[in-house]
Each structure stands twice: as C-alpha cells, then as structure tokens.
Structure 1
C-alpha cells in the first residue's frame, strides 16, 4: 500500500541546477576569480549540503566566513529564481496523491529560506504535509536521517513510501532509509543514479513506468 511520497527539491520538483551553477560562478568569481565548469559542479557540488561543501570550497576561510559565503550564494540563487516551473507531471502526481490520501513531504539539503522561496515560487507550498530541512538535523544527505525523519513526520513506513531524487547523495540517503527510490534524470546520468541505489530512473513524473509502479503499490 502506498501511503507516502517524499520529494527532494532542487532538480526533482523543479530543474534549478543551471541557476545554482550561475550563483556559484558569480560567488567564486567575485571571491578570487575562480571559474567553475559544469562537470565540476555536477561531480563536486550538486545535491550536497552547504556545511561541508563550503569548507571544501574555501579551505582558508573561517567557519563564520564560510557561513556568510553560503548565505551570499543562496541569496544570489533566490534573485535568479523569482518564479519556477514544476517538473513535468509533478502536479498530476500531487493531485493523485491528494485523491488517494497519500502524505507528501519535501526532504532537502537546501536551507529553509531557499526551500520556502522555491515552494512559493512553484505555487505548491500548501500541498505538503511537512518540509524536512537537512541543515536542521544532526546529519544531512547522504546520511539517511533526513528521509527517516520525513517518514516519521508522515507517520509512514519505508515499505509504503516512494522517494524521488535527482542527486547521488540524495539517492543514497533515500535508499539507505529503506525507501523505494525513483531517480529523476535531470542532473545525473541514469546509470549513475542506479549505481547510487535508485531502483527506477525516469525522465519526469509522466513516465509510464512510474505510474505502473504506483498502481502496483496501490494493490
């Protein structure tokens, strides 16, 4: 029985990696003239929480400076994203979940300010039962804690849930939480998502294989 849907945010509910790449490029360029390629972004940055990431990007900066740099980058991102478009098929899936009384939760490594901004920009903030922000927990993705927290807040069991993720850390987190994980192939090749633990990879939420899976879980 399907009782819960847990969604990553960036790259899953909406395709935002291009905007994040632009924000990082501006930040790094302003800071020390560094350049950032798409390949570097995909391999080293996409899907990761800011805490550890900014320590790696700015090894000589203090913790306070890294925090300020992260805040600046996220402010740049929000400026670049006044409105956003939902991933194809997302609203159809959310309507289905509402009709079947299936709980829905966002599980994200993004800061809460970003999460709130993005959900408002998408016009879907009120549709979710909860928003789990990994920065507010002891451990972010790829640790399973954020997804285990999402299950707890929805009062759902892993065996009755689906998780949707586009990043390798996110797929690992959901898989290690014991949730059937659907990879969304927006930021990573399908093979890499499968290797990280995804049991199914789709292009978007209209994929017939996803809907066949949902029908099977309905029993």
Structure 2
C-alpha cells in the first residue's frame, strides 16, 4: 500500500511541476484581452477574479497574462462554503465589490 501512496504523491508533484512549467512558457493572453481591459478600466468597472484554482496557480496565470494589477479582489472557491459550480464564490465577489448581480457580467475561461 505504501508504494502506491508514494507513487501517487510523485505523480501529483510531477503534474504540478509540469503545469507551472507550461504556464510560464506557453500561457499567452487571448487576442483582444488588453483592449477589453482598457474598456473596463476606462469605465471604472469593479472586477474580481473568481476561481476554484489554488491561490498559487491563480496568481501565476493572472501574472503571466499581465493582469496582476487589474482585479480589485480575488475570490477562491476554498474561501467559500461551496466552490463553483455553486454560486457562493460569485456571491462573495458581489459582496466584496459591493455591487448588484443585476449590473454584473462574467467572463469564464472554461466551459461550465
């Protein structure tokens, strides 16, 4: 049994290292990202990053695409009782930003 536990830990560690290496080498912003950023900033819209990713992964990806200073708040699924797909992280972001759900839009990076 111990052999399997060690193998699983090694596999997880290897996967994490691969993710970090690939993110640093290959993660690029989508076309139009900086135009959208300017449009949002020019209007003074509040914004939050809401993710189920671990904080280190989220920060790596956000930094890598040049958005380190863009978000007013970051909400992790682990900060909430229920992570996405439950609405808890989004509701927490609304609360932190002090905005109404009726005047909010969301951009996602994955299919839900």
Which category of TM-score, normalised to the shorter sequence, fits these structures? 0.7 to 0.9
1:114–1:102 Cα change, 3 Å: same
Aligned to 2:111: 167
Aligned to 2:31: 88
TM-fit CA distance, 1:71: 6.0
Aligned to 2:58: 115
Q: Is the 8 A contact 1:108 1:133 kept in 2?
A: yes
Structure 1 stretches lacking a partner, 5+ long: 1-31, 33-60, 169-219
SS in 1 for 2:21: helix
Whether 2:85 is the aligned partner of 1:142: answer: yes
Deviation string for 1:140-184 (max 9, x for gaps)?
11100011111111111001000112321xxxxxxxxxxxxxxxx
Of the two structures, which has the highest relative contact order with CA contacts closer than 8 Å and spacing of 6 or more? 1
Aligned to 2:45: 102
Deviation string for 1:98-138 (max 9, x for gaps)?
11110111111111000111111112111110111112322
**Normalization by structure 1: what TM-score?**
0.43
Aligned equivalents of 1:113, 1:87: Cα separation in 2: 21
Structure with more of its chain in strand, by fraction = 1
Aligned equivalents of 1:70, 1:104: Cα separation in 2: 36
